[in-house]
C-alpha cells in the first residue's frame, strides 16, 4: 500500500511488469476503494487514479481533455487502496502495457465518447488521434532523414521492435482504452467487468477487430476519412487546439500543419510526385499524408495477426 502523497506513478523506467492477475486484482481492489470513497462515479475515480500523475496538467497538460483528479481522492486511494500496478505483460503479444496510458485513454473516452461517423472529437484525441498527431509531428521532425512519409509510417507506426511515439504497445493501450471507455460511457459495464472481459477468456484476441468495427464501421474508407478528419479538420476548436499544441511541442513552432498541405498531397489517390516541381518547392514536406495510406493498411485487423 502506498503512503499518502507519494507520486508512485511518476517514473516507469525500470519498473517491473506485473503478471496479468496482479493487474486485474489491482483494478478490482481500486474499484472497491472508489466505491467506499463514495464520491462520484467509481469507474471514473479508478481511471483517474490509474492515470495519475503522468497524465495530468503537471506533466502533460491533460486538463485540456479531462480534469485533474481530486487530490483528496488520490490521497484516499493511496492510503486505503491496493498497491499500484504500473505496467503489465499483455496476454497476446507479451508486450509491456503502461497502465497510466490505457487509463488516460479510457478516461477521455468515458467523458467524451467518440465523434460521430468520420467526425472526430476530444475523446478520439485522447487515444489513437493524439498518438497519431504526435506521430505526424515526429515524422516532420525526422523528415530530413526519412523523406517518404509512407516509408516512415510503415517502418515505425505500431511496430514491436522500433522506438517511436506510436509503438505497438501504445496502439494496444489506445485500443483497450477505447473499448473499455466506450463500455463505461454507455454504462453497460463496470471497469472491473470491462477489463476482465477484455483481458481474460480470449477477449484480447479480437481487440483490434472490435475497435476497427466499432470506430471505423469495419471499413477502410471510413478509417481513412476519420484519420484525415483528425489531422486536418478545424470545426472542433478543442481538437484543433490540441492538434497544434501536440505538433509544435514535438516538432517545433514552424512545423507545417497537415491542413496547410495541398489537397492533392493529402489524397493518396494522386501520388505526390504528380504535383508540379514549382509547387513542390513551396511544400516543406510534400509526402506526409501519404502516411494515411499506410495507416489505412495497418488498421486492418489482419495486419496485427490477432
Q: Mind listing the pLDDT tens digit for each residue in 88-140? A: 998 887 899 999 999 999 999 999 999 999 999 999 999 999 999 998 899 88
Per-residue pLDDT tens digits for 263-296:
655 554 433 333 333 333 333 343 444 555 555 5
pLDDT at residue 199, as a whole number: 94
pTM: 0.83
**129 is written with which cell numbers?**
488521434
Buried b (16+ CB within 10 A) or exposed e, 105-133: bbbbbbbbbbbeebbbbbbbbbbbbbbbb
pLDDT higher at 11 or 245: 245
Helices (H), 82-219: 99-112, 122-124, 130-142, 149-156, 168-185, 191-199, 207-216
CA 10/CA 6 separation, integer angstroms? 9
E-state strands within 4-154: 87-89, 96-98
- Report which of residues 7 and 268 the model is more confident about: 268
pLDDT at 73 over 50: yes
pLDDT at 80: 98
In this predicted structure, the answer to whether residue 4 has a pLDDT above a threshold of 60 is no
What's the CA gap between 72 and 85, in Å, rounded? 20
Paired with 88 in beta bridges are 18, 97
Can you give the pLDDT at residue 210? 93
Q: What is the pLDDT of residue 144?
A: 80
Q: Which helix (H) or strand (E) holds 232?
A: helix 220-232
47, 74 Cβ separation under 8 angstroms: no
> With 90 as the cut, is the pLDDT of residue 298 above it?
no
Q: How far apart are the C-alpha atoms of 304 and 209, rounded to whole Å? A: 10
Please give the average per-residue pLDDT across 77-81, as a whole number.
98
What pLDDT score was predicted for residue 187? 73
pLDDT over threshold 80, residue 206: yes
Say what the pLDDT of residue 264 is.
Answer: 56
* pLDDT surpassing 50 at residue 188: yes
Give percent of the chain with pLDDT exceeding 90.
53
pLDDT, the chain, mean: 81
Kindly state the average pLDDT of the residues 148-173. 83
Which region among 35-39, 220-224, 235-239 has the lowest average model confidence (pLDDT)? 220-224
Residue 98's DSSP bridge partners are: 87
Amino acid at each position: 500500500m502506498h503512503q499518502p502523497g507519494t507520486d508512485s506513478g511518476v517514473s516507469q523506467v525500470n519498473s517491473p511488469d506485473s503478471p496479468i492477475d496482479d493487474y486485474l486484482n489491482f483494478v478490482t481492489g481500486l474499484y472497491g476503494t472508489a466505491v467506499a470513497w463514495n464520491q462520484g462515479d467509481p469507474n471514473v475515480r479508478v481511471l483517474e487514479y490509474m492515470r495519475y500523475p503522468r497524465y495530468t496538467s503537471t506533466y502533460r497538460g491533460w486538463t485540456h481533455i479531462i480534469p485533474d483528479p481530486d487530490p483528496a481522492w488520490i490521497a484516499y486511494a493511496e492510503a486505503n487502496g491496493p498497491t499500484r500496478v504500473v505496467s503489465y505483460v499483455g496476454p497476446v503479444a507479451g508486450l509491456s502495457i503502461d497502465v497510466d496510458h490505457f487509463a488516460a485513454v479510457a478516461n477521455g473516452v468515458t467523458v467524451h465518447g467518440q465523434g460521430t461517423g468520420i467526425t472526430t472529437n476530444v475523446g478520439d484525441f485522447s487515444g489513437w488521434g493524439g498518438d497519431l498527431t504526435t506521430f505526424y509531428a515526429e515524422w516532420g521532425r525526422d523528415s530530413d532523414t526519412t523523406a517518404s512519409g509512407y516509408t516512415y509510417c510503415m517502418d515505425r507506426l505500431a511496430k514491436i521492435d522500433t522506438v517511436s511515439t506510436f509503438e505497438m504497445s501504445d496502439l494496444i493501450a489506445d485500443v483497450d482504452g477505447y473499448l473499455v471507455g466506450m463500455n463505461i460511457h454507455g454504462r453497460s459495464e463496470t471497469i472491473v467487468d470491462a477489463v476482465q472481459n477484455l483481458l481474460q477468456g480470449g477477449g484480447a484476441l479480437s481487440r483490434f477487430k472490435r475497435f476497427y468495427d466499432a470506430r471505423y464501421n469495419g471499413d477502410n474508407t471510413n478509417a481513412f476519412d476519420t484519420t484525415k478528419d483528425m489531422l486536418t479538420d478545424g470545426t472542433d476548436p478543442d481538437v484543433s487546439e490540441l492538434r497544434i499544441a501536440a505538433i509544435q511541442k514535438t516538432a517545433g513552432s514552424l512545423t507545417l500543419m497537415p491542413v496547410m498541405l495541398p489537397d492533392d498531397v493529402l489524397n493518396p489517390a494522386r501520388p505526390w510526385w504528380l504535383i508540379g516541381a514549382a509547387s513542390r518547392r513551396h511544400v516543406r514536406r510534400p509526402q506526409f499524408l501519404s502516411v494515411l495510406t499506410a495507416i489505412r493498411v495497418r488498421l486492418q485487423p489482419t495486419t496485427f495477426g490477432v
